[in-house]
Chains A and B, each alone.
Chain A
Amino acid sequence: MTDPDSATATGQPASQDMPVLMSLPRVRRRSIGRIVSGAVVLALLGLLALAFANAKISWGVVNRYLLTLQMLQGAERTMILTVGSMALALVLGAIGGICRLSDNPVVSGAAWLYVWAFRGTPVLVQLLMWFNLALVFPRLAIPGVFHVSMNTLITPAVAAILGFGVNEGSYVAEVFRGGMLAVGEGQKEAAAALGMSHFHTNRRVILPQAVRIILPTLGNETIGMLKLTSLASIVSFYELTETAEQIYYVNARVMELLIVAALWYLVLTSIFSIGQYYLERHLGRSLQRMRPPTLLERGIRGALDRISAARRTA
């Protein structure tokens, strides 16, 4: 039946038509559905672009205000507010998360109360309370050591950072708690067997692993915080949105300036996203066999793949 020359590597003879099948060229599958859905989406995008092109938006104004000193300062202040609030939130969140997992019911109860109170009330209400703190506590003082009037202490910037940071800290505390619970029980036991203290175990073993686990969530929270800071105008803090508002109150180019602000938010969130990617890549080094590519490497590799795929079908 089969001729002995066509034996395969396994030693068994291959069917006679195999060489013919092996020599046939391959043609990629065409999917009508893909082409149709692609065309529909393109058409819808085109309509949207057309609508915006014909809308009563003066793109010249957008262009003119995009890089003005005022907007740059607004973006800078938004950035500072985000970083400051998030830094405070991380400190409070790490402490809160550790305390929530404490064996001591008073400590874990206090941490629970913090999360309950600050996660359970709107951040807008909390901002206004910090801003008006002087109404109930006119002075902050340690008798005989120092005293300061609350009105001079609570500037708009301080009120905003406290408001956002303390509020966000209650969320971050829960994120930390989840991350620490996700680190295997065996890690804690191994540390205990070596005679390591709770403090050392947390600092050297549990937290570093928890941070790697919760980093995607923290990145998400940071980007959420960036946009949430637009509420800071309520305590007269001139961040990005408030700056845009101040300008359009004068020149009545409402939509143009809101577009300028939106573009700046996109720029800032992009910066945070890229930073997050590299931070995750760095902290993941103990688990990955090969380092994931940098963004540039990823782009080059994708392009090369597409070129070689095109060659193969050609």
Chain B
Amino acid sequence: MTKCMLEAVGIEKRFGIHPVLRGVDMQVDAGEVVAVMGPSGSGKSTLLRCVNFLEKPDAGIVRIDGELMGYKVASGKLRELSGRQLRAQRVSIGMVFQAFNLFENMTILDNVMEGPRCVKGVSKADAEEAAMALLRRVGMEQKARSYPSHVSGGQRQRAAIARALAMEPKLMLLDEPTSSLDPELVGEVLRVIAELAQTGMTLVIVTHEVGFAREVADRVVFMADGVVEEVGPATEVLTAPRRERTKAFLRTVIS
């Protein structure tokens, strides 16, 4: 039996009076690659951010590798974790952002070393060695000493993936990793992600790249209006969708 890496049940999130997530369930097995798709405003990014508690869900439970996120059970109550405990949980969840969010004041190498150095207390030499190995893996070793603003968007995103991997996460969340890239740069980032999928890393990717999802993802979660509209094997959902909204969305994306 495969291990469940991410289990989210009944996730709800409101911004003001505007409900973004209205009871979302999602399961992701260890080593599985899941693409979250759907029209903009359907709550895909918010769902991802609720998984690692960058946004605290208003309701619902998230478990990562069996461990309850953000809370502990104490005398029959869910007690909110301290900041320190929550940060420790986030270490095992890597996140890659649409806007890269590399630290602008550090070189790419320092960006990759920062997490291990200041959160895990890894020595400088060890952190540098590991960081260089990761940068080599994403094809960025030549740019290790460059600042983020001196390299292309595709290179920034590959560096950001290396930065997330440096924490040795069990699970990676990728929030539209290619949406702010020029078309000719999308391929290099998708290649890195596909290679990552091959290594057995558990990936949850919010993406609009239908072709990529079909090739790399095991399953597709299709969201609309803050609920999961359809879930299934990628080939099934993307080639023979059952729900009307999925069909309508795929028509607009592909044409």
Q: Are A287 and B102 in contact (CB under 8 A)?
A: no
Given A187-B101, A194-B114; A287-B147 close (CB under 8 Å): yes
Give the size range of B's interface with the partner. 20 to 34
**Which of A242-279 touch B at CB < 8 Å?**
none
A286 to B148, CA, bound (A): 8
A194 to B105, CA, bound (A): 16
A285 to B160, CA, bound (A): 20
Q: Is B52 an interface residue (CB 8 A)?
A: yes
Q: Are A287 and B104 in contact (CB under 8 A)?
A: yes
**Which of B72-108 touch A at CB < 8 Å?**
83-84, 87-88, 90-91, 93-95, 97, 99-107
B90: min CB distance to chain A, Å? 4
Q: Are B104 and A194 in contact (CB under 8 A)?
A: no
Q: Are B114 and A195 in contact (CB under 8 A)?
A: no
Residue from B83, B84, B91, B99 in contact with A186 in the complex, judged by beta carbons closer than 8 Å = B99
A189 to B90, CA, bound (A): 12
A281: min CB distance to chain B, Å? 15
Stretch in A8-16, A36-44, A204-212, A233-241 touching the partner: A204-212
Q: Is B149 an interface residue (CB 8 A)?
A: yes
Which residues of chain A come closer than 8 Å to B90, judged between CB atoms?
192-195
Q: Is B163 an interface residue (CB 8 A)?
A: yes
Q: Are A286 and B147 in contact (CB under 8 A)?
A: yes
B57: min CB distance to chain A, Å? 16
Given A187-B104, A208-B105, A286-B104; A193-B52 close (CB under 8 Å): yes
Q: Are B105 and A209 in contact (CB under 8 A)?
A: yes
A40 to B75, CA, bound (A): 87
Q: Are B105 and A186 in contact (CB under 8 A)?
A: no
A285 to B104, CA, bound (A): 11
Which residues of chain A come closer than 8 Å to B119, judged between CB atoms?
194-196, 200
Q: Are B103 and A205 in contact (CB under 8 A)?
A: yes
Which residues of chain A come closer than 8 Å to B54, judged between CB atoms?
189, 192-193
A82: min CB distance to chain B, Å? 28
**Which of A173-218 touch B at CB < 8 Å?**
184, 186-187, 189-198, 200, 204-205, 208-209, 212
A195: min CB distance to chain B, Å? 4
Q: Is A306 an interface residue (CB 8 A)?
A: no
A287 to B148, CA, bound (A): 8
Q: Are B163 and A194 in contact (CB under 8 A)?
A: yes
Q: Are B147 and A200 in contact (CB under 8 A)?
A: no
Q: Is A29 an interface residue (CB 8 A)?
A: no
B206: min CB distance to chain A, Å? 15
A196: min CB distance to chain B, Å? 6
Residue from B83, B99, B100, B107 in contact with A197 in the complex, judged by beta carbons closer than 8 Å = B83
A184 to B105, CA, bound (A): 12
Which residues of chain A come closer than 8 Å to B150, judged between CB atoms?
289
Which residues of chain B come closer than 8 Å to A192, judged between CB atoms?
54, 87, 90
A116: min CB distance to chain B, Å? 29
Which residues of chain B come closer than 8 Å to A204, judged between CB atoms?
103, 114, 118
Q: Are B104 and A209 in contact (CB under 8 A)?
A: yes
Which residues of chain A come closer than 8 Å to B149, judged between CB atoms?
286-287
A287 to B103, CA, bound (A): 12
Q: Are B101 and A189 in contact (CB under 8 A)?
A: yes
Given A187-B104, A208-B105, A287-B149; A195-B88 close (CB under 8 Å): yes
Q: Is B167 an interface residue (CB 8 A)?
A: yes
Q: Among the interface residues B52, B104, B107, B160, which one has the most CB atoms of the partner chain A within 10 A?
A: B104
A134 to B103, CA, bound (A): 49
Measured CB to CB, the nearest residue on chain A to B110 is A204
**Which of B177-213 touch A at CB < 8 Å?**
none
Measured CB to CB, the nearest residue on chain B to A211 is B105
Residue from A190, A195, A289 in contact with B103 in the complex, judged by beta carbons closer than 8 Å = A190
A194 to B166, CA, bound (A): 9
17 pairs from A and B in contact (CB 8 Å cutoff): A184-B99, A186-B99, A187-B103, A190-B102, A190-B103, A193-B95, A194-B91, A194-B163, A195-B119, A196-B118, A197-B83, A197-B87, A200-B119, A205-B105, A209-B105, A286-B106, A289-B150
| CB-CB nearest 3 A-B residue pairs | A190-B101, A186-B101, A193-B95
